[in-house]
Structure 1
Amino acid sequence: MAELTTTVKMDDGVNLHVKLLGDDSTSTKKPLLVSLHGAPGLSTHLEPLASFGHLSNLFRVLVYDARGSGKSDHIGPFTHDRWIQDIENLRQWAGADTFVLAGASYGGFVALDYAVRHGDKLRGLILRDTWANGKVGAMAALANIVTSSRINPDIHRQVRVWSGTLYDDKDFEEAVAEILPFYTPPEDVVSPEDLPESTEFQETIKYHSATQNFAFSVNMPQFDVRDQLKDIKAPTLVVVGRHDYVTPVSYSEDIAKSIPNARLEIFEYSGHSPPSDEPAKFQEILLDYLKTIL
């Protein structure tokens, strides 16, 4: 498997940490798939790499740390406009006229905004555990967290996370640590896939509260694409875990109903991450969907 890890400079001089898989001598014959990670200021390219890296025999798979996250420059602006332009820059850098775009969690918000603005560039769209309305989504997630019987978080700290008013990186780290169990299925929900936990894509987590704060204090109040979903023409796969209380099933149902050519798949044994909770089923459904657009 050909693999390239490099730095790509954006039009404003910011450097992004990029990994491109499947880019060999026949790469011009392979379609491009770009996958966006979630959790701005926290997650990295390793999340989408674990979910989509196995497709490198069929696609050129491009994953990267968004600006403000991981090894990419922590230089703003951290707006959706800027993150969308970064996607456009990477598409052009990879030499693709059209491509498949995948977005997980917060990456799904950016993917939806991209699909609304640049739908002519998409041959496919994959949305995993996301929402289409920032105000309602963030407030509902906070409400579910503070009323959950599974965790006992510091309510004021969680308000700071979801309103984008974290004190500093340490505040961000403590906020994430106390709600991690909330993202997984309940203990009494057992997946039929008895697989060992993989550590292949794990790395030391670095917290960048400035990115998170901008995303949730500025971007989320402005993000609402519900009325524009009907204009998305790309064949769309919408994936969600039945036990996702951050971006609940109803949000994915509404998205799938509103996009004309959308397919909804609910994973009965998953929380916020079907690719890790039910990996075999996720890969099966993903390949079945991708066969229709290859």
Structure 2
Amino acid sequence: MRVTVNDNELEVELLGPEGAPVVIACHGAPGLGSRAEPRASFGRLADSYRVLVYDARGSGVSEGKGPFTHEQWAADVEGLREWVGAERVVLAGGSYGGFMAMEYAVRHPDRVLALVLRDTSPDNANEDMARANALATRRVDLDLEKFGRIMDGRTRDDADLKECWREILPLYDHVYDPAKVEEKVEATHYRYETHNWAFTENMPRYDLKDRLPSLTCPVLVTVGRDDWITPVACSETIARLVPHARLVVFEKSGHSPQVEEAEAWTACVRGFLDEVVGAGAPAGRG
């Protein structure tokens, strides 16, 4: 469904029973990601939770009015919380979606029941780690020009973003499957302007380390052992900074344990939420 939030139409899906605790799940990869990934992963919890997934401003099939700042994207999450009518919500996100879940939580701590983070980072230190991991890989021979354009936010148009995405996708999974890579390439919505903004404007300034210790909500941090782009060290930093955060490392996963170890990851997230939120708890109304 189309929902207008802050003068921008977003494509939104609501899954699960009315009245259940609300989970807002943020997708990663601005300009490349969409609601499809959080729908597949958090949709598994829709038997007990009210799950809201959406294409962020400038991604998927949502409208793309700028700016594509963290401030604007966090404000859009707040608009979605108000629209769904929940006083407090669980915020979830993987990769760049984890950046946004944390950005929202430090801005609106009174609105967050719990945080579920996957393969993410508290600052931009992951970028240097990712570059080193990519250059050290023996999996594929990287075209360093394409690699540089996508990492630096210098893609030329949607077609170029597609080719650069194809170049780095082999790095993501624990087990490389060229057929799956090509399937992902063709399934992606490409919005190069959003991607470029995220990596030229937002990432150089991204650093939440000094604000994370103020969080008081329960926090689950999950990560794949072989994650190349937001390595385990990034999740360890989050877990160290956030009081009482829980860290779970999935040993047979790359950047996507919600896919590569789906059953174990889902059981981990469900167990955490059932404990700290309770599937039978009311969502609350604003």
**Common fold, TM-score beyond 0.5?**
yes
Equivalent-residue separation in structure 2 for 1:186 and 1:50 (angstroms): 20
Which residue number in structure 2 is paired with residue 3 of structure 1?
Answer: none
Residue 9 in structure 1 maps to residue 24 in structure 2: no
The alignment partner of 1:226 has SS state of coil
Q: CA deviation at 1:89?
A: 0.5
**Residue 289 in 1 paired to residue 284 in 2?**
no
Q: Map 1:67-78 onto structure 2 (within 5 A).
A: 67-78=57-68
Supply the distance in 2 between the matched residues of 1:169 and 1:203 (Cα, whole angstroms): 13
Q: Tell me if structure 1 keeps the 8 A contact 2:162–2:185.
A: no
Q: Does 1:258 align with 2:241?
A: yes
Is 1:184 aligned to 2:173, yes or no? yes
Where does residue 153 of structure 2 map in the other structure? 164
1:155 is aligned to 2:138? no
* CA deviations over 1:121-178 (Å, ceiling 9, x no partner): 10000110001112x2223212321331112121122111111111111221111112
* Residue 22, structure 1, aligned to residue 16, structure 2: yes
Q: Does 1:89 align with 2:79?
A: yes
Maintained 8 Å contact 1:229/1:259: yes
CA RMSD of aligned residues (A): 1.7
Structure 2 partner of 1:108? 98
How far 1:8 moved relative to its partner? 0.5
Tell me: CA distance 1:279–1:159, structure 2 relative to 1, closer, same or farther (3 Å).
Answer: same
| Aligned amino acid, residue 290 of structure 1 | L
Q: Which residue in the other structure is 1:44 paired with?
A: 34
Task: Give the Cα–Cα distance (whole angstroms) in 2 for the partners of residues 186 and 17 of structure 1.
Answer: 32
Deviations 1:94-141 (A, max 9, x none): 00000000011000111111111111110000110001112x222321
Secondary structure of 2:13 counterpart: strand
In structure 2, runs of 5+ residues without a counterpart are 279-286
Asked if 1:276 is matched to 2:248, the reply is no
Q: How does 1:229-240 map to 2 (within 5 A)?
A: 229-240=212-223
SS in 2 for 1:86: helix
Question: Which amino acid is the alignment partner of residue 2 of structure 2?
Answer: T
SS of structure 2 residue aligned to 1:238: strand
User: Distance in 1 between the 2:194 and 2:135 partners?
Assistant: 23
Q: Which shows bigger deviation, 125-134 or 153-162?
A: 153-162
CA drift of 1:202 comes to: 10
| CA–CA separation in structure 2 for the residues paired with 1:249 and 1:205 | 26
CA contact (8 A) 1:186 1:243 kept: no
Provide closer, same or farther for how the CA distance between residues 125 and 97 of structure 1 changes in structure 2, counting only shifts above 3 A.
Answer: same
> Residues 56 and 73 of structure 2 are in contact (CA less than 8 Å); yes or no, is this contact kept in structure 1?
yes
Provide the C-alpha distance between the structure 1 equivalents of 2:36 and 2:207, rounded to a whole number of angstroms: 28
Question: SS at the partner of 2:66?
Answer: coil
Deviation, structure 1 residue 206: 2.0
2:131 maps to 142
SS of aligned partner of 1:227:
coil
Matched residue of 2:211: which SS? helix
Q: In 2, are the aligned partners of 1:142 and 1:159 still within 8 Å (CA)?
A: no
| Unpaired segments ≥5 residues, structure 1 | 1-5, 188-196
Equivalent residue pairs, number: 272
SS in 2 for 1:9: strand
Q: TM-score, normalised by structure 2?
A: 0.91
Contact kept, 8 Å, 2:165 with 2:185, in 1: the verdict is: no
Kindly tell me: are residues 279 and 202 of structure 1, through their superposed partners in 2, closer, same or farther at Cα, counting changes over 3 Å? farther
Distance 1:53 1:290, change over 3 A: same
- The reply on whether 1:56 has 2:50 as its aligned counterpart is no
Aligned partner of 2:281 in structure 1 is: none
Letter in 2 for 1:9: T
TM-score by length of 1: 0.89
Identity of aligned residues (%): 45
* Mapped contact 1:242–1:268 kept (Cα < 8 A): yes
Deviations along 1:75-104, one digit per CA (max 9) or x if unpaired, are 211100010010000000000000000011
Q: State the distance in 1 between where 2:131 and 2:159 align.
A: 20
CA shift, 1:203, in A, is: 7.4
